[in-house]
């Protein structure tokens, strides 16, 4: 069901309930006002009747004609309900029952009753009766008037309300539908344009209506979402293009080496050299694929936060960096406080980020150089854990610092695309990008800078410890 029709039906239903409630209150209030008016008239006639009784001086049991305005009835009864006097010679039936007459001796009472006529041809009347003491010992007076005016006025008011309510409902339904249609027209325009948007042109956004209402805020929110989706799409497209470019080089080398190996007349030494080059390129492809998988997983999986010892993690990273055959000796030192330093985070991802930073520092460190891993809490903010890795290499190029943590960015493309002097593996250009991804998952930061005075680089990792100082 269209939302316009739902709104129109709901508005009509609410209007109907309001009309019923207001109409019922109006009719009840009208009847109460009319009843108070009738009761006031009955009290005036009762006083008139008492005045007539006082002026006649009639003895008990003596029947005389009483006078009241046309349409009114009056009787004098004793305490047992027996008729003493009446305003109508033809009316011989008491207006009150014996119980009502006895109750009237104690004070004023009001009743609804039916006037039973003496003539067979006459019709019954719904009457309102006021009964009170007559001022004489043991007698009461009963004054009555027709309730037809009251009932007719109430029925007429209810009928008028019904007619007016029907007209209001007939106008409310279509009016609510038109208003809902006009209010939702901007939403329909946004929906139509959103259906035509492609991923590549999501940055265009949707038409936002003027004003500061809910629909305009919805349009602004959707445009913000589309902008973020467009940025993500552009990043992914650039990532795919960069990954394709990075994969093209080793694959082209592999194809060329295999084509050389297939040529006739190749001796064993040439074939061995071809196989070594192919193995090197295959290893590069494997590392690139692994880094791509790690980066994708880090960006799409939530970090697993546990408490761990940051000093122990840094020591493990140092030992891993020193393990294995390293033709070019580099010293790695951990500067840490005495005792453990408990922090919160995902230790596996933090370790991966630290390994990547240390590997990058080792790659550019001169033989006999030193790499220092400083472990502690950030100066001035004990709520931040901090890892600072410094080396004695050439440092970062000034133009490289702003893009150091972007994907497939290399500090020295000529050196990192091949084996480095000393046997270090070539960079895939994703190591620092993985570092930034890990820090983002921890709501932290990764920064790179050159040491003052030249001759070295510094990479700083910070993230909230979640454990207090």
Pairing state between β 109-115 and 125-133: antiparallel
Domain with CATH 3.30.565.10 in the chain: 304-464
- The DSSP string of 356-408 is HHHHHHHHHPPTT-EEEEEEEEETTEEEEEEEEEE--S----TTTGGGTTSTT
Element (H, E) at 209: none
What stretches of 25-108 adopt beta strand conformation (E)? 72-78, 83-86
d(CA 330, CA 302): 35
Cα–Cα distance measured from residue 133 to residue 203, given in angstroms and rounded to the nearest whole number: 91
Q: How many CA atoms lie within 13 A of 463 on its CB side?
A: 26
For the chain, residues classed under CATH 1.10.287 are 198-301
Whole-model pTM over 0.75 = no
Place of tokens 């700083």: 460
The pLDDT of residue 200: 61
Phi, psi (deg, nearest 5) at residue 463? -160, 155
DSSP codes of every residue in 294-323: HHHHHHHS----EEEEHHHHHHHHHHHHH-
What class is the 6-151 domain?
A: alpha beta
pLDDT tens digits for the chain (469 residues)?
777 778 788 888 888 888 888 888 888 888 888 888 888 888 888 888 888 777 765 444 444 567 777 777 888 888 888 888 877 644 677 888 888 888 888 888 888 888 776 554 456 778 888 888 887 678 888 888 888 777 788 888 888 888 888 888 888 888 888 887 787 777 777 777 777 777 666 666 777 777 677 777 777 888 788 787 877 777 777 667 766 766 776 777 778 878 877 888 778 887 888 888 788 778 777 777 776 777 666 666 667 888 999 999 999 988 888 875 455 688 999 998 888 899 999 898 899 889 889 988 888 888 888 999 999 988 878 889 999 999 988 888 888 888 878 776 666 544 344 334 444 555 667 778 888 888 888 889 999 999 887 778 999 999 998 644 3
* Distance set, CA 214 to CA 151, 210, 219, 357, 467 (Å): 50, 11, 9, 48, 41
Class (C level, CATH) for 198-301: mainly alpha
Write down the pLDDT at residue 411: 62
Could you tell me the sign of the dihedral formed by the alpha carbons of 389, 395, 399, 400, in that order? Answer: negative
Task: State CA 58 to chain mean position distance.
Answer: 85
Domain 304-464 has CATH 3.60.140.10: no
| pLDDT given at position 261 | 79
pLDDT confidence of residue 309: 92
Name the β-bridge partners of 200.
Answer: none
Query: Is 201 exposed, middle or buried, given 0-12, 13-18 or 19+ CB atoms closer than 10 A?
Result: exposed
Residue pair 432/360 in contact (Cβ under 8 Å)? The answer is yes
CATH 3.30.450 maps onto the chain at: 6-151
Q: What is the pLDDT of residue 195?
A: 76
Query: For position 191, what pLDDT does the model report?
Result: 77
State the CB neighbour count (10 A cutoff) for residue 191. Answer: 11
pLDDT of 250 reads 72
Question: Which residue is associated with the tokens 């010892």?
Answer: 309
**How is 136-193 classified by DSSP, letter by letter?**
STTEEEEEEEESHHHHHHHHHHHHHHHHHHHHHHHHHHHHHHHHHHHHHHHHHHHHHH
Q: Which two tokens stand for residue 129?
A: 């009766």
All residues at 6 or more sequence positions from 350 whose CB lies less than 8 Å from its CB, including other chains: 310, 313, 387, 438, 442, 461, 463
Q: What's the maximum distance between 2 C-alpha atoms anywhere in the chain?
A: 158
- Tokens for 297, please give them: 């997983």
């Amino acid at each position: 069901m269209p939302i316009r029709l739902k709104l129109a039906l709901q508005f009509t239903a609410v209007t109907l309930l309001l009309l019923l409630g207001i109409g019922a209150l109006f009719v009840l209030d009208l009847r109460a006002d009319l009843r108070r008016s009738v009761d006031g008239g009955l009290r005036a006639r009762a006083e008139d009747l008492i005045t007539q009784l006082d002026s006649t001086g009639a003895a008990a049991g003596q029947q005389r004609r009483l006078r009241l305005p046309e349409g009114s009835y009056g009787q004098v009864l004793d305490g047992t309900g027996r008729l003493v006097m009446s305003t109508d010679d033809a009316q011989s039936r008491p207006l009150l029952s014996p119980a009502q007459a006895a109750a009237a001796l104690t004070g004023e009472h009001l009743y609804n009753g039916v006037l039973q006529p003496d003539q067979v041809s006459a019709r019954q009347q719904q009457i309102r009766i006021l009964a009170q003491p007559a001022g004489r010992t043991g007698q009461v007076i009963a004054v009555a008037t027709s309730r037809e005016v009251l009932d007719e006025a109430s029925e007429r008011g209810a009928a008028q309300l019904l007619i007016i309510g029907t007209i209001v409902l007939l106008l409310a339904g279509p009016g609510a539908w038109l208003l809902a249609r006009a209010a939702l027209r901007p939403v329909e325009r946004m929906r139509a344009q959103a259906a035509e948007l492609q991923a590549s042109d999501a940055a265009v956004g949707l038409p936002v209506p003027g004003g500061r209402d809910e629909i305009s805020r919805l349009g602004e929110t959707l445009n913000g979402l589309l902008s973020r989706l467009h940025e993500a799409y552009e990043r992914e497209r650039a990532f795919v293009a960069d990954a394709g470019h990075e994969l093209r080089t080793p694959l082209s080398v592999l194809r060329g080496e295999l084509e050389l190996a297939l040529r006739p007349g190749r001796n064993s030494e040439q074939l061995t050299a071809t196989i070594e080059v192919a193995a090197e390129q295959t290893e590069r492809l494997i590392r690139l694929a692994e880094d791509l998988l790690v980066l994708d997983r880090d960006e799409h999986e939530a970090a697993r936060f546990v408490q761990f010892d940051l000093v122990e993690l840094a020591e493990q990273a140092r030992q891993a960096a020193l393990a294995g055959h390293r033709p070019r000796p580099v010293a790695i030192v951990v500067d840490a406080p005495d005792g453990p330093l408990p922090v919160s985070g995902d230790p596996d991802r933090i370790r991966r980020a630290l390994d990547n930073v240390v590997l990058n520092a080792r790659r550019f460190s001169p033989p006999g150089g030193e790499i220092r891993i400083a472990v502690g809490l950030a100066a001035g903010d004990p709520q931040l854990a901090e890892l600072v890795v410094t080396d004695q290499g050439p440092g970062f190029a000034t133009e490289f610092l702003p893009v150091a943590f972007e994907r497939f960015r290399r500090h020295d493309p000529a050196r990192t695309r091949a084996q480095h002097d000393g046997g270090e593996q070539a960079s895939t250009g994703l190591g620092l990008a993985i570092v930034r991804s890990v820090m983002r998952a921890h709501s932290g930061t990764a920064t790179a800078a050159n040491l003052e005075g030249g001759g070295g680089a510094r990479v700083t990792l910070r993230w909230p410890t979640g454990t207090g100082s």
